[in-house]
Structure 1
Amino acid sequence: MPVVLQLQDAYKRYGDQELLDGATCALPDDQKIGLIGRNGAGKSTLCRILLGDEELDAGEVVRSKKLRLGYLRQHDPFLDGETVLDFLMRDSEQPDWRCGEIAWQFQLPDVMLHQPVRSLSGGWQTRVKLAALLLHDPNLLILDEPTNFLDLRTQMLLEEFLRGFKGGILVVSHDRSFLKRTCTHTLELSRGHLELYPGDVDSFLANIDERREHDRRVNATTMTKRKQLETFIAKNRANAATASQARSKAKQLEKLTLVEVVGEEATVRFSFPQVAPRQGTALRTERMAIGYPERDVASEVQLEIEHGQRVGIVGDNGQGKTTFLRTICGSLEPKAGSMKWGYGCQMGVYAQHVYTTLPQNDTVEDYLHRQAAHGTNMQQIKDVAGSFLFRGELIQKKIKVLSGGERARLVLAGLLLEQHNVLVLDEPGNHLDVETVEALADALCRYPGTVIFTSHDRHFMQRVANTVIEVGSGKVASYPGSFEDYVYRVHKELEAGLRAEHAAYNAGASAKHAGEAGSPAGEPAATRKVLSGKEERELEKRLKAVERKIAKLDDEKKQLTASLMTITDGKESKRVQDQLAATAAEIAELEHEWLQISGDLG
């Protein structure tokens, strides 16, 4: 367990805020560590310091000679017109077969390797960056919020990658499910200090709660003892016979001190406005089509959302989740069909990136005052601001100096000052710390109104959603199971596809590599069998037959996916999910066979 990166007695200050105050930590090359802390605690700053992108005020970063540091780049490292394969080869200086082999680990299909990287969605570009990261053979990875805006499928691939990664990792994430699945240790940054706990994030938070409760009990006992001593001293210090005892008790009293409660920091505590529970249909769509002038995203959308439901919108990136939300919010007009909100529905909206468009020169108080419903007094505004940690002088902070997490909190605070019985939330947990995400989930579960939301945070989605709508393959429909059922289906599809595809590519890549290693460039491998005309015709027939089977199974897969959106019976849904996973595995095996035949044909 050699240590490859250390932080020693580190100090870092921004204005009045002490981010690092004598902080120390050591990162070995075999531990998977989740870094947690409140918004504004300095987690991203710490990552930049460790990467060498920012300097300490005092202290030292010690890098081992054996350190091979890798990090997931947030910026765009691609050249204009550069294909996926071109980028991987340029970035890693590895041959095409090796780049292709690693690309398969992230389910980058062969056809995509030859597409321009910038033409891909953000989720696919992240997969390309991860493949490039692995090609550099790092022994320590630093990842700052790697799951933001990643769909479930890409998150699962990232988890598989990190679990199988042989080196160490330091990952910052607000997603408890992701941290628990990938990290065995937890590093907390609090009040400028770093503390490493040998357990996952759930164990760490449970341990913190237990220690806090223990410290509170100790303090309660100390306060009781203090009152007893103070009473005895007051009664006996004037009495000559007991004055010496009183002096002795006074010395005992001086030694009594309260312990600082472990990790006790200001926490977000809030509830959405109490609204009268309603019954019946909140939203109904009739054969609605959604999309943009140049393209359709989904059609024949038939939905009914009841008052009081908490609806989680799921689906892969690029399938239309945000388009659907924008349509029901009125930002986009339906391309066909109709939708209708129930009588008296008052909607509050939290949109992706909304905190980047806030008025920069407004103070927190200015913004909240503008958002507040008519008749809200200043004390109510200050109470809500305080519940979101904007207390005292912080309410006068300019929006332009707020962090991403603080801006997200501010927008949520604004929603609380309005009166809504329907909330539409697009990725509300992004840029919030673990504790604030928990507080938000608690508040939404208590909220008697209707909630329609998207989130890539599985822990948050599982806690909040009691109804699921899936967006995909040009359809938007109620999912016939719970969110756990949906995760199970995606996992099985991914598992079956990865297993077969990885074996297929390994076989194909190994054969290609062997051929390249044994023959001069441009010549066939010496071991390749020379085919007769009859053998070549037979292989071509087999190749066409396999292609027909793949096309047929691909159609079946699409039909199964479409039918899954209309099934309401749980057992039938499970049967179709298993059939879908089996079909995906069969397609992958046929693609393996296609690769082998193509290789034999040369």
Structure 2
Amino acid sequence: MGVLLQIRGAEKSYGMQRLLDDAEATLTDGVKVGFVGRNGAGKSTLLRVLLDEEELEKGEVIRSSNLKVGYLRQHDPFQPTESAMDFLVRDSGQPDWKCGEVAGQFELKGDYLNGPISALSGGWQTRVKLAALLLHEPNLLLLDEPTNFLDVRTQILLEHFLQNFNQAALIVSHDRTFLQATCDHTLDLTRGKLTMYPGKIEAFLEYQAERREHDERVNAAVLAKQKKLQQFIDKNRARASTASQARSKGKQLERLQTLEIEEELPTASIRAPIVVPRKGPALRLNDLSIGYPDRTVATEIKLEIEHGQRAAIVGDNGQGKTTLLRTIVGSLTPLGGEAKWGHGCDIGVYAQHVYSSLDPNQTVLEYLEYKAIAGTTNQMILAVAGSLLFRNEHVRKKVKVLSGGERARLCMAGLLLGPYNILVLDEPGNHLDVETVESLVEALLEYRGTVIFTSHDRHFMRRLATNIVEVRDGTAKNYSGDYDGYLYYVNKEIEEGERARGVTSGQKSKKNASKSGKGSGKDSTEPAMDPRKLQKELKRLEKVVVALDAQRRELNDQLMTATDPDHALKLHNEVKAVEMDLGEAEEKWLELNSYDE
């Protein structure tokens, strides 16, 4: 497995913050790596270093001579009047049939492919950029938060693309579901150090927790042993008959050292508003039509949402999810019908545009004082601010110096200080890191009011939603299944489209091969394997499987008794590597067995 890129002794700082501190990592051929870490840890900075857009203060990045990087551009590289097809041909230099074939993988066809690209939503334009990436045939993809603002269908299309992409990728994302589906390795950046884990994100998070628990148990045992040795020394060092034993125990005591356990980074602790639960309908939509003066988005919407429900609004980008939310909270006037709230509903709104329209000259504390209901004590305001990581001097920061994630947390804190028994949340997880989103989920699960929300984070939706409202084909209606059922339905549609395109693209490939004089007309079926060679290979694989299984068990035994954290991580990495080799050998053995049958 060839090395594409190495980071050695990397150091980088911003002000007093050390983003990279003697950081090291290696990226190899064909390996997809999920890059994780807290907001502000330095992940995007490291990507810019890898792209030669920033320099390290110390250390080096060693690139393979055959490295070909593909980077998902955040800016729009399109010309004003061109179509997606025009852009793909211009950007890649590939023929139109090849561009159309790759575009089909992202469901770009008809007006989406041949109409003006300026008319496409941000999600569809991202699909065009991804198709352009693939046409350049890179052997390392760098993706920075690729799922931000993408609808679920586009996320799943991107997953399928990455699963079938046989080159390497480094993907920065807070979306655990996406990383779990696409990446087999995990790279963590914490306190300036890079740690490569040879496993998926969920296994990495479990390993982190287990490692900490293991270190705490080792320290408890060491402290107990130290206490016993010290008691023996204190009791016996003054006696001539036992003084030598006391000195020996003293040397043992000097050798006993506890493991250094780093203090956990602060995590948001969100508390939902305490409200009196209500019963009956919270919201009724009667023949509601939504949209804008020059464009109708959806019509004949008949829905009822009960108090206490957590209703997830789902659908592709451009179908009208945000338009529906804006209409029910009064930001948009209905084009027809009505949206009627029940008696006694206090509605709190978290919208995508809110944190970008805050007064830049207000401090954190001033904003929260303005949002809090009358009678809220300063102590309560500071407690809520602290729960969302605005502590000490941070409450005196002005809004204009806050990051996107900090502004999102500030708006959330303002909601929590209100009296709201209805929360309408449009993409509440955007700009929040994994830990803060998890805290938000826990708070909303305890909340006794009603939640109407939309999100592209599947982990968030799956944990929170009690019922699903789908916006599609010019209307909105209750979806009969749960969120997993909805995802299955979307996946099935995509897979059916891929199968249909597989037949079409196969026919096109034959035609193009024929046109270029490469079609031989011979049967392309591979010849059957010689039976003697097949049996020989099966026996060889059986020996490999037995040897790898024994090696795995031996390494696991060593791991169970390891006390040094660095040695334990090395052993754990070796176990994972052996398990991957074992899985490949077993799959090959099963494949060859099917020939034997």
Shorter-normalised TM-score: what interval? 0.7 to 0.9
What is the match of residue 389 of structure 2? 389
2:362 and 2:494 mapped to 1: Cα distance? 47
What is the match of residue 139 of structure 2? 139
Deviation at 1:511, TM superposition (A): 2.6
What is the match of residue 197 of structure 2? 197
2:358 and 2:166 mapped to 1: Cα distance? 43
User: Relative to structure 2, which stretch is displaced further, 207-216 or 180-189?
Assistant: 207-216
What is the match of residue 55 of structure 1? 55
Deviation at 1:437, TM superposition (A): 1.7
1:458 and 1:310 mapped to 2: Cα distance? 15
Classify 1:411/1:241 alpha carbon distance in 2 versus 1 (closer, same or farther; 3 Å): farther
Deviation at 1:442, TM superposition (A): 1.6
What is the match of residue 584 of structure 1? none
User: Relative to structure 2, which stretch is displaced further, 501-510 or 187-196?
Assistant: 501-510
2:161 and 2:195 mapped to 1: Cα distance? 26
List per-residue Cα deviations over 1:407-435 (Å, max 9, x = no partner): 22222222222222111111111122222
Aligned letter for 1:43?
K
Classify 1:345/1:355 alpha carbon distance in 2 versus 1 (closer, same or farther; 3 Å): same
What is the match of residue 119 of structure 2? 119
What is the match of residue 187 of structure 2? 187
| Residues 208, 262 of structure 1: 8 Å contact kept | no
Deviation at 1:488, TM superposition (A): 0.9
1:420-499 superposed matches below 5 A: 420-499=420-499
| Residues 211, 262 of structure 1: 8 Å contact kept | no
> Tell me, what secondary structure is at the counterpart of 1:419?
coil
Deviation at 1:398, TM superposition (A): 3.2
1:514-593 superposed matches below 5 A: 514-515=514-515, 517=516
1:6-21 superposed matches below 5 A: 6-21=6-21
List per-residue Cα deviations over 1:39-87 (Å, max 9, x = no partner): 1111111111111112212211111111000011110000110111111
RMSD after superposition:
2.6
Deviation at 1:245, TM superposition (A): 7.6
2:247 and 2:382 mapped to 1: Cα distance? 47
1:384 and 1:243 mapped to 2: Cα distance? 59
Classify 1:22/1:393 alpha carbon distance in 2 versus 1 (closer, same or farther; 3 Å): farther
| Residues 275, 420 of structure 1: 8 Å contact kept | yes
Aligned letter for 2:390?
F
The reply on whether 1:67 has 2:67 as its aligned counterpart is yes
List per-residue Cα deviations over 1:303-330 (Å, max 9, x = no partner): 1111111111100110000000111111
Deviation at 1:475, TM superposition (A): 0.8
Classify 1:89/1:510 alpha carbon distance in 2 versus 1 (closer, same or farther; 3 Å): farther
Aligned letter for 2:435?
E
List per-residue Cα deviations over 1:312-350 (Å, max 9, x = no partner): 110011000000011111111211111221222111111
Structure 2: tracts of 5 or more residues without a match: 522-597
Deviation at 1:363, TM superposition (A): 3.0
List per-residue Cα deviations over 1:387-416 (Å, max 9, x = no partner): 222233333333333322222222222222
The reply on whether 1:321 has 2:321 as its aligned counterpart is yes
The reply on whether 1:268 has 2:268 as its aligned counterpart is yes
The reply on whether 1:372 has 2:372 as its aligned counterpart is yes
What is the match of residue 285 of structure 2? 285
1:237 and 1:341 mapped to 2: Cα distance? 81
Aligned letter for 1:491?
N
Deviation at 1:29, TM superposition (A): 2.0
> Tell me, what secondary structure is at the counterpart of 2:322?
helix
Structure 1: tracts of 5 or more residues without a match: 519-526, 528-602
1:113-262 superposed matches below 5 A: 113-225=113-225, 257-261=257-261
Classify 1:331/1:198 alpha carbon distance in 2 versus 1 (closer, same or farther; 3 Å): same
| Residues 284, 339 of structure 1: 8 Å contact kept | yes
What is the match of residue 92 of structure 1? 92
What is the match of residue 416 of structure 1? 416
Deviation at 1:277, TM superposition (A): 1.5
2:282 and 2:245 mapped to 1: Cα distance? 73
Deviation at 1:180, TM superposition (A): 0.5
Aligned letter for 1:420?
Y
| Residues 40, 403 of structure 1: 8 Å contact kept | no
List per-residue Cα deviations over 1:436-461 (Å, max 9, x = no partner): 22222122112111111111111111
What is the match of residue 309 of structure 2? 309
2:110 and 2:180 mapped to 1: Cα distance? 32
Q: TM-score, normalised by structure 1?
A: 0.81
List per-residue Cα deviations over 1:209-259 (Å, max 9, x = no partner): 111212222333344455566777778889999888877777666655543
| Residues 212, 263 of structure 1: 8 Å contact kept | no
Aligned letter for 1:285?
L
1:252 and 1:284 mapped to 2: Cα distance? 74
1:253 and 1:395 mapped to 2: Cα distance? 47
> Tell me, what secondary structure is at the counterpart of 2:91?
helix
Q: TM-score, normalised by structure 2?
A: 0.82
1:413 and 1:235 mapped to 2: Cα distance? 57
Size of the aligned set, in residue pairs, is 520
List per-residue Cα deviations over 1:93-147 (Å, max 9, x = no partner): 1111111111111111144332121111111111110110001000000101101
